[in-house]
Amino acid sequence: MLYGDDRSLQAARARAYALAETGQYDNSNAVQQALIAEGWSNAGRAMDSDYARKAVGERCRAAQAH
């Protein structure tokens, strides 16, 4: 089941990256809230690592700079 769990977390992170790249969100917290609003029950775990939060935050800033 660990493999399936990894895949679901990867899917949630991929969605977080896609949301961040829209430029509609200021930071990783806003993206996490958007994931929750979309029904991603694993949003908290997907965004739990510092790496994921930093990557999402950087994508948010880059998208807003354009």
Closest by Cα among 15, 36, 33, 13 to 25: 33
pTM, entire model: 0.89
**20-66 residue pLDDT tens:** 999 999 999 999 999 999 999 999 999 999 999 999 999 999 999 97
Of 3 and 20, more confident: 20
**23-36 residue pLDDT tens:** 999 999 999 999 99
Asked if 60 and 28 touch (Cβ cutoff 8 Å), the reply is yes
Residue ranges per structural domain of the chain: 2-65
**Number of alpha carbons in the 13 Å side-chain half-sphere of residue 29:** 0
